[in-house]
Structure 1
């Protein structure tokens, strides 16, 4: 496997809540989430949740080739739940959750799964790139953001509006009229976007957390094909550097309104033979 991986926390003084890993023919990326400023009800925390779920998912996908990716994810969520349901309050509104992107090669095809707002990029031999992203969270968010985007990022007023928005968002988590994400309930795996693509049609596969996709879907400073070109020529670290440069040039969110001035950013780029 020819894989390049880069990851950087939003703040070097805080844990990186993203997780990415590979095994022969398999790659996974998770972006952990809680409710900012709120206790999670979990003594382990968001980074523990995303890395534990990611490690178990990678193992399940690798050792159970006959299982679907959704089946592997559901089983891994159950396994993580069993590890901390006796010590943590998994019914708490801010219990840790995570997006999931997973791919597996087998029988001449690439199988994929996307749950939550991380992104999978599939690039063909002609350089055309298709982006697969679960936009249900964004669609719900647009209805609820209210004043968040009108206030300077990091201000007390913005923090208060953001807390109100996230409370409302949490109430729609893993509900038919809301959005789906990996958390305590394995049934979320049933609602992931899944599919297969002929392997010989692909030149590369890229897995990105939403902190790394900001260059396209938040800042509009590049398109997906340009992102893949950067990943192929200069690697994930250069993509993340460009994201940080844009973030640092707009620390108050005036040009690009957003919940976080900076976000954990992870990119995994897999060049296929």
Structure 2
């Protein structure tokens, strides 16, 4: 069994809002939802603090408890909220939030949980890769993306459109008919995608924040089979390098329209055989 991982912030002068952590039997990935500077969040700690605090709490919970992953996630959200509810406004619609991927190996099975748009790819023996991603945020966002897509990336118009997009999305966060992320409400854990698969059916698992998965699902410069092979042959660092090359080749978001021209990127590959 072998686990390799890499993470890189979008900009060297800004904190990495992704979190990746692992034990011999568990991996946790969180991708914090960045907040434009002109939007308030009600929290004095920030998104990186939230994703790193919740991520480390979940990793400890997976190590110490045999509870279901959704139960551990609910407890982690509640515990993290209690760490700042006395000094931050957790009723604010912009309270820090994050996507979640949890993967745990037991003696015979592999348990997984995915909440929001980070990606889990299972390399199944004698079958196509199984790609697990919660698409509700993307489907909701499609209603509001046009003004942002129409503006040149990095321009003042694009930044203003991004802020309006983020503000509009807040109205759909953690409600029925919208999308679900980890934030302050433990009930969000009940909305996560979950599953179990016999570990002897799985060759490897790739865990990707959307800043890393964009090589496949946004840029279409590889398919999932090719991404798995790249991770195995050259490592997560090379996958992120290829993402950065694509981003730098399109600094205005003309070839690939996107809200974030550069994004924090995290990738891990867990080999089981």
TM-score (norm 2): 0.97
| 1:230-249 → structure 2 map (5 Å cutoff) | 230-249=230-249
Aligned residue number for residue 272 of structure 2: 272
Runs (4+) of structure 1 moved beyond 4 Å?
A: none
C-alpha contact 1:34 1:94 (8 A) present in aligned 2 = no
Alpha-carbon separation, structure 1, partners of 2:221 and 2:236: 16
More divergent stretch after superposition (145-154 vs 224-233): 145-154
| Residue of structure 2 equivalent to 1:104 | 104
Q: Which residue of 2 aligns with 1:131?
A: 131
Residue matched to 2:30: 30
Give the alignment of 1:20-59 within 5 angstroms.
20-37=20-37, 38-59=39-60
Structure-1 separation of matches of 2:59 and 2:49 = 15
Q: Gaps spanning 5+ residues in structure 1: where?
A: none
Tell me by how many angstroms 1:107 deviates. 4.0
Report if the CA contact (8 A) 1:2-1:270 is conserved. yes
> 1:127 touches 1:225 (CA, 8 Å); kept in 2?
no
TM-fit CA distance, 1:130: 1.2
Matches of 1:159 and 1:25 in 2, distance apart? 41
Partner SS, residue 144 of structure 1: coil
Residue 92 of structure 2 is matched in structure 1 by 92
Deviation at 1:83, TM superposition (A): 0.4
Q: Secondary structure at the match of 1:13?
A: coil
**Are residue 69 (structure 1) and residue 65 (structure 2) matched?**
no
Which stretch of the first structure deviates more once superposed, 114-123 or 99-108? 99-108
Give the aligned partner of residue 10 of structure 2.
Answer: 10
| Displacement of 1:127 | 6.7
Q: How does 1:190-209 map to 2 (within 5 A)?
A: 190-209=190-209
Larger deviation, residues 157-166 vs 228-237: 157-166
Which residue pairs with 1:213 in the alignment? 213
Q: Secondary structure at the match of 1:206?
A: strand
DSSP-derived class of the 1:220 partner: coil
SS of the residue 1:114 aligns to: strand
Deviation at 1:129, TM superposition (A): 1.1
**Equivalent residue number for residue 153 of structure 2:** 153
Per-residue deviation, 1:238? 0.1
8 Å Cα contact 2:112-2:194 kept in structure 1: yes
Distance in 2 of aligned mates of 1:264 and 1:127: 31
Contact 2:17-2:34 at 8 Å conserved across structures: no
Once the 2 structures are TM-superposed, how far is the Cα of residue 147 of structure 1 from its aligned partner? 1.2
Question: Which segments of 5 or more consecutive residues in structure 2 lack a partner in the other structure?
Answer: none
Partners of 1:93 and 1:107 lie apart in 2 by 41
CA distance in 1, matches of 2:208, 2:5: 10
What SS is found at the alignment partner of 2:114? strand
Number of aligned residue pairs: give it: 272
- Matched residues in 2 for 1:131 and 1:162: separation? 28
Are the equivalent residues in 1 in contact too, given 2:97–2:181 (CA < 8 A)? Answer: yes
User: How far did residue 6 of structure 1 move?
Assistant: 0.3
Alpha-carbon displacement from aligned partner over 1:63-106 (angstroms, at most 9, x marks no partner): 111x1000000000010011000011111122100000001112
**Any idea what SS the aligned residue of 2:73 has?**
helix
- 1:179 corresponds to 2:184: no
| Cα displacement (A) at 1:39 | 2.8
For 2:210, what is the secondary structure of its paired residue? coil
Q: Whole-Å Cα distance in 2 between the matches of residues 197 and 30 of structure 1?
A: 22
